[in-house]
Amino acid sequence: MDELMAAELDIAAGWVREAERVVAFTGAGISTDSGIPDFRGPNGVWTKNPAAEKAATLQHYLADPEVRRAAWQNRLRSSTWSAEPNLGHRALVELERQGRLMAVVTQNVDGLHQAAGHDPANVIEVHGTMRYTRCWGCNDRRPMEDLLERVRAGEDDPSCDRCGGIVKSDTISFGQNLVPEVIEAAMVAAERCDVLIAAGSSLSVFPAANVVPRAKSAGARVIIVNGQPTNMDRFADALLIGQLGDILPALCGVTA
């Protein structure tokens, strides 16, 4: 880390120390140190395979059994199941334990914030979670592991055992409406915070990324931490480009 970045990090860490209502907005970049690839980074899933992004739509999933079969195999092999929270996740948990982190608004569906020790009530999952499934017919919600057991037993496209409907992960796919109450909770948190830490997100997916200008317009200091520049760097009071596993612990005052 160069001297200029170190100085900016020191200033930003001071803001966090003095803050009473911190909100963290996190994207896939916070989980890459846990072995889960991001989407739009240099080695991202969609950077390497743009066709995969087009296929990840609700319309394709509901209409094509082959898409669903492939999706179930991908879920079965997902690196999420063996992933552990990393230093970045744990740094944010420490802020919560100190009583200064009021919410984590996350685009991630991996559940690692809760696994790290956050109060689940403080985690706002704007794109849902892959730890659960939901039936597209009757809205029945089950732990993902229940369905994966059926896939391991030989079912290639398990249907709802209540109504026979199509089952998918309880995540928001392209073409699927977000849950208005969840987005509203994210925006309210942004409006109430005095410091917003945006970590590991390209800040290019809306409406979730609107938490940054919303917090800024409400008077919060905005700290952006990412491996690459983002689409909202212009809103940053502090811009910290580098490894999240190094920057977040220092930002949150966590010593090794």
Active centre residues (catalytic)? 127
H-run or E-run covering 26: strand 22-26
H-run or E-run covering 240: strand 238-241
Handedness of CA 115, 188, 25, 223 (dihedral sign): negative
Q: How far apart are CA 111 and CA 94, in angstroms?
A: 17
Instruction: Please provide the DSSP assignment of 161-222 as one string.
Output: TTT--BEEEEE--BTS---HHHHHHHHHHHHH-SEEEEES--S-STTGGGHHHHHHHTT-EE
Cβ contact 24:88 at 8 Å: no
Helix, coil or strand: residue 108 = coil
Cβ contact 240:250 at 8 Å: no
Of 14, 171, 55, nearest to 106 (Cα)?
171
Cβ contact 225:1 at 8 Å: no
H-run or E-run covering 5: helix 3-18
Cβ contact 107:28 at 8 Å: yes
